[in-house]
Amino acid sequence: MKLHTSELRRKQKKLQAGDRVFLSGTIYTARDAAHRRLIELLDNGKELPFTIGGAVIYYAGPTPAQQGMAVGSCGPTTAYRMDAFSPTLLDAGLAAMIAKGPRAVSVVDAIVRNEACYFVATGGAGALIAQHIKTAEVVAFKDLGTESIKRLTVEDFPLIVAVDSKGNSLYI
């Protein structure tokens, strides 16, 4: 199924664990250090560097761009590393996450509570994934280098629904 990030909130209740999705639109990258900073901002009542409501976060740290590409390799990070932060971001309005591997029960509960979803991308396919990234721009935490938060424009990014809005999971 082809899906645009602008219609994700409207359509994600229909997604089921195991569905293949080709996602297009805007997503944001963030890994451990960036997640920690996002939570600190929320805890201190400060504004986040992007609108979290309806956003998609890809757990990745793209390598520097290669000639003719928006980024270098851009494979998914293991999801459990962000499990401590994810419920707070989901409760703040995050629509979906992209990574690899299973999620903690607390994250699945937050996905259900917020009618969100979790997609998996193929690990070890960072160079192939990079071909689906059309633009990349640092929007926060530039000092983190490759782990800064970047706004990506993706086209037909191949994903699988790993946890749907009802809590069905490929891992359970």
CA dist 123 and 102 (Å) reads: 13
Torsion of CA 106, 120, 31, 153, to 10 degrees: -130
Mean pLDDT, the chain, integer: 96
What's the rounded mean pLDDT across residues 141-161?
97
Per residue in 84-124, pLDDT tens?
Answer: 999 999 999 999 999 999 999 999 999 999 999 999 999 88
Average pLDDT over residues 34-50: 97
Domains of the chain: 2-163 (3.20.130.10)
pLDDT number for residue 144? 96
Q: What is the pLDDT of residues 23-32, one digit of tens each?
A: 999 999 999 9
* pLDDT at residue 66, rounded to an integer: 82
Threshold 0.85, pTM exceeds = yes
What is the pLDDT, as a whole number, of residue 1?
95
Residue percentage of the chain with pLDDT more than 90: 93
* pLDDT, position 158: 97
For residues 154-165, one letter each, b for 16 or more C-beta atoms within 10 angstroms of the residue's C-beta and e for the rest, the string is: beebebebbbbb
